[in-house]
């Protein structure tokens, strides 16, 4: 019966609880901050709150947390009316040392696009979207059985699941984002989104692109699959010369579409090695507990087991491909005839919903998105 109280730490501690914990801890983040809620409180709160809605409780709910690239200027504007959200952004300003909210609302776009700003922005906006969902449909959180996050989204998923404290996780995201930004500036590299025909051999194409780079005089060239999105779709990352070679030879490798992603480096490849140590160091000082609901790892598409496991895989994730397609199979695998859970994408963009549709159409039919802009609120006000 875990589902009935699994998401309660988020409701109970909310941001107010985290904010108080932050004040008690002074501003020392390493190992500081009390956990927002304890198990006995969670159980009591779930009894008090009553049973979740019948529909959501039937098959449970799943929350998906987006990653870098889903951001846009104006995100978060539609969330500020919900309790605790402004507190989250105030706390974020203390942790980060700059005004994240005004950067999200007003830009400039070029600054928000920078990895060091973009990752914390998506992390906070996603958890603010959870506050909105809690305010509008608390039964969705009460009946949540699983969560998964795409790349940096894993940190938000783990905070939601009660495994990490909001402020400490945000500090870890800050360190991760700055280290990844620095690593990406060291080598001209990038990421190429590819859709291929069934006969496409991505690994062979990467091998030939690396050989091409060697002929150009690049030592130890990198060109490898960095993200498995859905059947016939991959992201390939590495040296820019390798990606250019793949675009120019797309037909030869049965690629039907290639598109460079608007990111600064080859994330989730060994070009991110310099970012490993800084993140490992900060996670050593971060209190991590076993998640209260199932959270799936990008590294192996399996459930996180315990705190040391989380610590190890979050570090490994920086230099490992994101197995998102495999994770979707793990999350939605069920016996024939079993109902699919209701899925909510919490945070900017609807990319994870689009990917889910390609991975599992039946699961996607129960999907909805928790918007972080103000458009839907304006629209609803016009109707009322």
Say whether pLDDT at 82 is over 80: yes
Query: What is the distance, to the nearest Å, from the Cα of residue 76 to the centroid of all Cα atoms in its chain?
Result: 16
Residue showing tokens 């016939």: 232
Is 189 known to be catalytic?
Answer: no
Q: Which of 12-16, 148-152, 212-216 has the lowest mean pLDDT?
A: 12-16
Is 268 known to be catalytic?
Answer: yes
Give the DSSP per-residue string, 49-70: H-PPPHHHHHH-EEEEE--TT-
pLDDT in tens, 337-356: 889 999 999 999 999 999 99
Assigned token pair, 315: 């570090």
Contact 267, 231 (CB under 8 A): no
In sequence order, the β-bridge partners of residue 346 are 370
Instruction: Report the predicted TM-score, pTM, of the whole model to 2 decimal places.
Output: 0.85
Tell me how far apart the alpha carbons of residues 324 and 52 are, in angstroms, rounded to a whole number: 29
Give the DSSP per-residue string, 205-240: HHHHHHHHHHHTT-SS--EEEEEEEETTEEEEEEEH
Query: What is the pLDDT, as a whole number, of residue 320?
Result: 98
Catalytic residue among 70, 151, 297, 301: 151
Residue showing tokens 């209701």: 342
Where is pLDDT greater, at 183 or 31? 183
Contact 303, 329 (CB under 8 A): no
Domain spans, the chain: 61-184+270-382, 186-261
pLDDT in tens, 263-318: 889 999 999 999 999 999 999 999 999 999 999 999 999 999 999 999 999 999 99
186-261 classified as CATH 3.30.70.250: yes
Catalytic residue among 268, 297, 301, 320: 268
Query: What is the pLDDT, as a whole number, of residue 376?
Result: 52
Query: What is the pLDDT, as a whole number, of residue 352?
Result: 98
DSSP 295: E
Say whether pLDDT at 358 is over 90: yes
Overall CATH class of domain 61-184+270-382: alpha beta
Contact 174, 91 (CB under 8 A): no
pLDDT in tens, 225-251: 999 999 999 999 999 999 999 999 999
Query: What is the pLDDT, as a whole number, of residue 373?
Result: 87
DSSP 161: T
Say whether pLDDT at 16 is over 70: no
């Amino acid at each position: 019966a875990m589902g009935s109280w699994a998401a309660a730490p988020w409701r109970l501690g909310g941001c107010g609880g985290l904010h108080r914990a932050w004040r008690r801890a002074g501003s020392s983040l390493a190992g500081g901050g009390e956990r927002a809620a304890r198990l006995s409180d969670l159980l009591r709160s779930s009894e008090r709150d009553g049973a979740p809605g019948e529909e959501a409780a039937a098959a449970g709910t799943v929350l998906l947390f987006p990653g870098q690239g889903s951001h846009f200027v104006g995100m978060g504007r539609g969330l500020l009316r919900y309790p605790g959200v402004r507190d989250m952004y105030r706390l974020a300003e203390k942790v980060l040392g700059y005004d994240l909210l005004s950067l999200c609302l007003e830009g400039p776009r070029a600054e928000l696009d920078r990895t060091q700003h973009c990752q914390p922005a998506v992390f906070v906006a996603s958890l603010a979207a959870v506050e909105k969902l809690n305010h509008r449909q608390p039964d969705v959180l009460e009946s949540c059985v699983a969560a998964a996050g795409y790349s940096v989204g894993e940190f938000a998923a783990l905070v939601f699941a009660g495994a990490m404290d909001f402020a400490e996780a945000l500090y870890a995201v800050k360190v991760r984002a700055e280290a990844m930004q620095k690593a990406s500036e060291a080598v001209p590299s990038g990421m190429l989104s590819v859709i291929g025909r069934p006969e496409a051999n991505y690994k062979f194409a990467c091998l030939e692109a690396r050989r091409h780079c060697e002929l150009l005089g690049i030592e130890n060239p990198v060109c490898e699959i960095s993200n498995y999105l859905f059947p016939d779709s991959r992201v390939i990352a590495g040296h820019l010369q390798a990606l250019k070679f793949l675009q120019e030879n797309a037909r030869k490798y049965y690629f039907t579409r290639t598109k460079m992603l608007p990111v600064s480096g080859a994330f989730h490849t060994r070009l991110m090695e310099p970012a490993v140590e800084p993140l490992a160091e900060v996670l050593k000082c971060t209190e991590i507990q076993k998640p209260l609901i199932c959270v799936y790892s990008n590294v192996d598409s399996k459930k996180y087991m315990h705190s040391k496991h989380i610590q190890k895989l979050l570090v490994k994730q920086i230099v490992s491909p994101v197995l998102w397609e495999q994770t979707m199979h793990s999350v939605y695998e069920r016996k024939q005839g079993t109902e699919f859970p209701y899925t909510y994408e919490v945070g900017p963009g609807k990319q994870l919903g689009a990917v889910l549709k390609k991975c599992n159409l039946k699961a996607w039919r129960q999907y909805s998105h928790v918007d972080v802009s103000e458009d839907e609120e304006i629209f609803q006000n016009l109707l009322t």
